[in-house]
Amino acid sequence: MVKVGIVGGTGYTGVELLRLLAAHPEVELALITSRSEAGLPVAEMFPNLRGHVDLAFSAPDAAALAACDVVFFATPNGVAMQSVPELLESGVKVIDLAADFRLKDADEWAQWYGQPHACPELLGEAVYGLPEVNRAAIKQARLIANPGCYPTAVQLGLLPLLEAGLVDAGRLVADCKSGVSGAGRKASVATLLCETSESFKAYAVPGHRHLPEIRQGLNRTIGGEVGLTFVPHLTPMLRGIHATLYANLSNAATKTDLQALFQQRYADEPFVDVLPAGSHPETRSVKGANTCRIAIHRPQGGDTLVVLSVIDNLVKGAAGQAVQNMNILCGLPETAGLEGIALVP
């Protein structure tokens, strides 16, 4: 059994981690921390876990965390980096669901997150936890940076095209929509029901924090610099990411079976589902599941390819992918604890 601790279990990604790990056949949940809710039984805050999680929230304790095999951080940006060096020295494996270790450049991280990085020496070591790209490195890692939700949907949608060199990498467009849970569980006027219901808006158009993360991953794919326009939108639904991706095809692409390209790229990936030609994936088809569903279109046979990529932002975009990374890291079946079917309606 893998002894697991969770730091910051009161947010949406934290409770999603609890839901998945409580049903995991190879996991022992050792502790869940929260300074503000210490002593409160987890099932009182999250009644869906009644009968499945008997722990109470506890104040962070370095010794208790050091006794775990794996510690997940489901905390705001800037928190994990304060504690990770000590945990690594204790021999604990760490998976951070926030952004503390996603970017390799400390100056770039400080620019986007508004504070200096507390342990820049670990940025080079941290493995970016996108299994479809870094599975081998994840197996050997001490520290895993779990990808963001938008970056997961966008990268999985564009990777096959960039790997094959079939599109103009300098003119990529990611038009993405997210459910309100992507903003977290904090109290905020902008995410109140009356503010988001029956409305739809773009936000952070000049620059979203996930932009450098997406660019970094795509740059690595081509060994150069991509040109990417990324526009996120807030939609009045609880869960889900829908990424509509646009790429200009090269001349070589006209002779390529693009449907087959995607199917072959993800044939052995348990959590990427390439839909039949002409499909339109829906966010509800992945609700609660650790699955990315992808469909490709070439409108009117022109030179623009449209890729549709959908995930649940709390599962494949956060907690589910973190569990997937833990499975790989600990030598468990990659699908362990993640075989649940999406919820409809």
Q: Which residues are catalytic?
A: 149
Residue of 230, 232, 195 whose CA lies nearest to 214? 230
Q: Using a CB cutoff of 8 Å and minimum separation of 24, what contacts does 341-344 make? A: 341/289, 342/284, 342/285, 342/286, 342/287, 342/288, 342/289, 342/291, 342/312, 343/284, 343/287, 343/288, 343/289, 344/284, 344/285, 344/287
Omega cis (within 30) before 345: yes
Residue of 304, 168, 314 whose CA lies nearest to 237? 314
Residue of 230, 182, 235, 233 whose CA lies nearest to 207? 230
Beta strands in 275-335, from DSSP E residues, in sequence order: 292-297, 304-311
Output the six-digit token pair for 54: 């008997």
Distance of CA 33 to the CA centre of its chain: 21
Output the six-digit token pair for 75: 């905390």
Is residue 288 left, alpha or beta, with left meaning phi > 0 and alpha meaning psi from -120 to 50?
Answer: left
**Which residues does 158 contact at the CB level (< 8 Å), separation at least 6?**
167, 172, 174, 218, 245, 247, 307
Output the six-digit token pair for 245: 């991706």
Strand, helix or coil at 277? coil
Residue type, 20: L
Distance CA 299, CA 287 (A): 28
Output the six-digit token pair for 328: 């790989």
Distance CA 93, CA 168 (A): 39
